[in-house]
C-alpha cells in the first residue's frame, strides 16, 4: 500500500490541486454580485441619500458612482420627467473594484421626476444589450419603448428575488485628480439588481 501511494503521490497531489482550483472557480462564478452605488452632489462632493425620491431644484448637478466587488455587467439608463427623452449612460462590463463615474448630470426644465435605472448582473443581459444597440442606431418611439419595457421586465423579475439588506459603506476612488472617500450603499445577495434613483425638481 505504501509503495502504491509513494508511486502515485504526485498524481494524487495534482488531482487534489485541480479539484481545489475547480471548486474555487465554481464558487467565484456562482457567487452573487456585491456592488456599491452612490449619488454625488457634484458641487459639494457630498453623497446624497436616495432611499426616497431626492428633492432638488433646477440647475443642481449630480453624478452617479458605481463600484462592483467582482467583474460584472452594468447598464445605466436615464429617463426624463416626460418619458420622451431616454439616454444610455453606460452599457457593458465593469471590472472588480473599478470605479465608474457618470458624466455630470444637470437638472433642467421642465419640472418633474428624473429617473436613473441601474442594472447590474453577474452575466450579460443579452436582450437588454440588443435593445440598447437598436435604440442607439434609431432612437425613435418604438425603440425607446422597447428599451424601457425590457428594463421594467428585468426590474419586475428581480423584485421577486430576495436580497440581503443594503448597508452603508465607505468607497474610495480618484476622480478629476482628487481623492474621494465618501459613503455609498452596498447591495449583495443576488445575481441581478435593478435600482432606480428618482430626483424630483
For 24-52, the pLDDT digits (tens) are 333 344 567 899 999 988 888 888 888 78
86, 176: one domain: yes
pLDDT of 138 above 90: yes
- Side-chain-facing half-sphere of 12: CA atoms under 13 Å: 6
Domain that holds residue 109: 33-200
Provide the H-helix boundaries in the chain: 2-7, 9-30, 126-137, 141-159
118, 26: one domain: no
Mean of per-residue pLDDT scores for the chain:
81
Mean pLDDT value across residues 149-176: 76
**How far is residue 96's CA from residue 122's CA, in Å, rounded to a whole number?**
11
Mean pLDDT value across residues 124-139: 96
50, 96: one domain: yes
Q: What percent of the chain has pLDDT over 70?
A: 77
- Using CA atoms, how far residue 59 sits from 41, 70, 83, 108, 109, in Å, is 12, 35, 20, 6, 9
173, 184: one domain: yes
User: What are the tens digits of pLDDT across the range 185-199?
Assistant: 888 888 999 999 999
181 Cα distance to chain centroid: 19
pLDDT for 73: 97
- DSSP SS3 for 199: strand
18, 81: one domain: no
* DSSP code at position 160: T
pLDDT for 180: 55
Query: Kind and range of the H or E element at 88?
Result: strand 86-94
**How far is residue 49's CA from residue 27's CA, in Å, rounded to a whole number?**
33
Amino acid at each position: 500500500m505504501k509503495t502504491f501511494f509513494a508511486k502515485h503521490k504526485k498524481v494524487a497531489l495534482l488531482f487534489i490541486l485541480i479539484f481545489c482550483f475547480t471548486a474555487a472557480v465554481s464558487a467565484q462564478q456562482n457567487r452573487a454580485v456585491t456592488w456599491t452605488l452612490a449619488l454625488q452632489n457634484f458641487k459639494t462632493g457630498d453623497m446624497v441619500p436616495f432611499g426616497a425620491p431626492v428633492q432638488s431644484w433646477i440647475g443642481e448637478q449630480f453624478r452617479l458612482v458605481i463600484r462592483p466587488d467582482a467583474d460584472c455587467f452594468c447598464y445605466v439608463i436615464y429617463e426624463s420627467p416626460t418619458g420622451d427623452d431616454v439616454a444610455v449612460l453606460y452599457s457593458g462590463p465593469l471590472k472588480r473594484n473599478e470605479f465608474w463615474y457618470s458624466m455630470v448630470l444637470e437638472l433642467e426644465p421642465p419640472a418633474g421626476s428624473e429617473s436613473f435605472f441601474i442594472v447590474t448582473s453577474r452575466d450579460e443581459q443579452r436582450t437588454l444589450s440588443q435593445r440598447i444597440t437598436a435604440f442607439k442606431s434609431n432612437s425613435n418611439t418604438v425603440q425607446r419603448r422597447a428599451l424601457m419595457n425590457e428594463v421594467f421586465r428585468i426590474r419586475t423579475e428581480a423584485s421577486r428575488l430576495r436580497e440581503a439588506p443594503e448597508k452603508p459603506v465607505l468607497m474610495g476612488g480618484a476622480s478629476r485628480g482628487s481623492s474621494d472617500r465618501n459613503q455609498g450603499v452596498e447591495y449583495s445577495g443576488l445575481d441581478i439588481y435593478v435600482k432606480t434613483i428618482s430626483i424630483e425638481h
